[in-house]
Structure 1
Amino acid sequence: MDQADENDRPADERHVPVLLQRCIDLLAPALAEPGAVMVDSTLGMGGHTEGVLTAFPQVRVIGIDRDTQALELAGRRLAAFGDRFTPVHAVYDEIGDVLDELDLPHVQGVLMDLGVSSLQLDEVDRGFSYAQDAPLDMRMDATRGRTAADVLNTYDERDIARVLRVYGEERFAGRIARNVVQARTRAPLTRTAELVDIVRASIPAATRKTGGHPAKRTFQALRIEVNGELEVLERAVPASIEALAVGGRIVVEAYQSLEDRIVKHAFAAGATTSAPAGLPVVPESHQPYLRLVTRGAEEADEAELALNPRSASVRLRAAERTRPTPEHMRPRRRAA
């Protein structure tokens, strides 16, 4: 199938949502509320939202995505649900502003399915995949922002190495960065195949034989840098918790350790008293405002892996809002 045919395929044929039934089950107690609203913070091609709208006929879903192509595909997929589905072009750390514009003070559910989407991986020209040659883009919102080529051609060697080491946990970050800088003195880097060749040449042959594709970590790191993914997530998790009504639930699916660590820490902070140790009575204002629903991070079982190989690295966590967030702990809204 060529790329034009792939672009014409409907979203439900191109995307299998990860741990769909588990997400539905975890959200169910909150979405059973009359007039319940859920925010799908990472709409993608709409698989999770379709499952929720089907399972809960009374629920409305607000679908947020920074990717205009995803919004278009999901909109077609979900058209049959009418005004029960509202698409919004935004980044998910803007959830508070989105809900303000929709005149929704709180919602009963928030779902985040983090990382690169099936759509972005499958669209060759987006440059997310190391398996096929394409422009060095990697923007989730193709309408704005710097590209991977901008990063590789303008960052100094030290900053490139930092990106690869911190966001990709790449052992050979220094070598790759040095070889990138050398290569761009001859001509700017513009194609993913050029980057793959540089990475392959930078990693010892013995190491290349294990651990999957040698460029996997470099591509992950550049994608995170281009889209500011971890900074956005650091803001988005507390903002999403703040958006929940008491009794509301948040479910997050992460696919790499840096994402999961942010979610874990935010949930743990909400599920722990903020009172000083040794107080005989903990004031209400210092009581936990979250209850952890999952025990640690849940992973895909064999049945899920057989259905959807992309679920192999998923780590799912869920929490329930138990009371309003203390004033001093509420996240600040992004400046306009």
Structure 2
Amino acid sequence: MSQDVHYSVLLEESLDGLLQDKQGLYVDGTFGRGGHSRALLKRLGADARLIGFDKDPQAVATGEALASEDARFTIQHSSFADIASLPDCRGRVDGILLDLGVSSPQLDEAERGFSFMRDGPLDMRMDTSAGPSAAQWLEHSAEDAMVRVFRDYGEERFARRIARKIVERRAEKPLTRTLELARLIEETVPKKDEKKHPATRVFQAIRIEINRELEDLKLALDAAMKALKPGGRLVVISFHSLEDRIVKRFIKKYSQSQDFPIGVPVTHDQLKSPLKIIGKAIKAGDKELGENVRSRSAIMRIAERCLD
């Protein structure tokens, strides 16, 4: 797969689950390079609207180009956590799609600093115009803070050992390059998984931390409840267990009826659940896995808004 191509994971399945009204209002909360948005626009009618969100300036530039081609589309340089902040979105959205994966151009472009396989500056920011880079975070974080991030977001067994080694190394010279960090981890971790590079978990953890990915996901799910109208669909594609656990618990929580103390009078509507689970979790099929190995960890969940 070339650097400039982004494979849209579970493309047809996600659009099938999302689309309810061909003339409706939809949100692509993670525009990326526009694969899902372009495919959705092909299915939508002339009076439909699609709003894209992305923190990545390069993705926003791609979105602006698409907006100039298709008046039904607009792009917001913002996190998907801000979905409900747009007046047009509150209680009026027919479908929200969140594809939580890092796009292939981000992974494959060494200058973005996401990859432990290519040498580049330790950046890892989705929004390169804001916030500390990975190098800055590693330079200033306390050892205990790094241990927490590596354990909580990377599920790294050797979090303490790696954090201590980073502290020792930065006392001599700051870590500024991706391969520097990858080699340090490789030299520090005693047991290697043949199927996974030893730096995988730490790189994931740092990326999640500096981009506030899990915090933004929780805010986005809450925002979706405010933005979706009754019958509107929420489709979320996750790529690791931390994300999927948050999505699964959120949907489960709101697909159950509300609890009220015994003796408190309630209406029939109050006993209804705000969300309805649509089908089972979906994973990529053999055909897609053969075309894109990065699809192997994807899992998609769909829910439908039930109440105002």
After TM superposition, the score normalised by the length of structure 2 is 0.94
Q: Which residue of 1 aligns with 2:16?
A: 25
In the TM superposition, 1:107-256 aligns within 5 A as 107-204=93-190, 207-256=191-240
Q: Which runs of 5+ in 2 are unaligned?
A: none
CA distance in 2, matches of 1:61, 1:137: 31
Cα deviation per residue 1:136-173 (whole Å; 9 max; x = unaligned)? Answer: 11000000101111111111111111110110000110
SS state at 1:312 partner:
helix
Cα deviation per residue 1:201-240 (whole Å; 9 max; x = unaligned)? Answer: 1111xx2142411100010000000101111111111111
Cα deviation per residue 1:65-89 (whole Å; 9 max; x = unaligned)? Answer: 0111011124335643x21110111
Asked if residue 320 in structure 1 is aligned to residue 304 in structure 2, the reply is yes
Alignment-mate amino acid for residue 31 of structure 1: D
Asked if residue 45 in structure 1 is aligned to residue 45 in structure 2, the reply is no
Aligned residues of 2:57 and 2:127 also touching (Cα < 8 A): yes
CA distance in 1, matches of 2:90, 2:76: 14
Asked if residue 301 in structure 1 is aligned to residue 292 in structure 2, the reply is no
Q: Which has the higher contact order (CA 8 A, sep 6+)?
A: 2
After TM superposition, the score normalised by the length of structure 1 is 0.86
Q: Which residue of 1 aligns with 2:56?
A: 67
Instruction: Choose the corresponding residue for 1:15, options 6, 10, 13.
Output: 6
Q: CA 1:252–1:103 in structure 2 vs 1: closer, same or farther (change >3 Å)?
A: closer
Cα deviation per residue 1:34-64 (whole Å; 9 max; x = unaligned)? Answer: x401000000000001111001233311000
Question: What is the root-mean-square deviation of aligned Cα atoms in Å?
Answer: 2.0
CA distance in 1, matches of 2:283, 2:167: 39
Q: How many residue pairs were aligned?
A: 306
Q: CA 1:245–1:105 in structure 2 vs 1: closer, same or farther (change >3 Å)?
A: closer
CA distance in 2, matches of 1:241, 1:261: 18
Q: Which runs of 5+ in 1 are unaligned?
A: 325-336
